[in-house]
A = this chain, B = another copy of it.
Amino acid sequence: MNLAEITPGAEGVFAVFRQETKNDPHVHVGDVHAPDAEMALVLAKEQFARRDPCVNLWVVRYADIAATSYRDADMLEPSTDKSYRFGGSYREQQRVYRRR
C-alpha cells in the first residue's frame, strides 16, 4: 500500500525523522507541508527539534513511502495492548519524557 492513498497531496507532505544522538535510530516525529525536500528540512528543524536533542534529520515525501497494511496477516497478531489506559499520572508522564 502506498501512503499517497491515505494522505491528500502526498507529494507536498514530508514525513520527518529525527535522530536524537549519533547512537539513536531515526524516529518518525511528524510531518511538514513543504514545496521541496530542502525547505521541508529547514521547516522541520523548528517544528520537531526546537525542544528535543537532534543531530540529524531525514525527510521523505509521503508519496515515496510504501507500507504494509494494519490487517497484514503475516505480522505478529497485533497484541490487544491494554496500553490505552496509558492516561497515567504526571509522574509517569515525566518518567516517559525524561527518558529522552
User: Which residues on A are within 8 Å of B, measured CB to CB?
Assistant: 2-4, 7, 15, 17, 21-23, 25-29, 37-38, 40-42, 45, 49-61, 64-68, 70, 72-79, 81-83, 85-86, 89-90, 98-99
Contacts and interface: CB of A to CB of B under 8 A. Distances in A.
Contact of A68 (B21, B41, B66): B41
A66 B56 CA distance: 11
Closest 9 CB pairs of A and B: A37-B66, A90-B99, A64-B64, A26-B28, A25-B28, A55-B73, A4-B38, A54-B76, A57-B68
Contacts of A52: 76
A76 B89 contact: no
Contacts of A21: 79, 81, 83
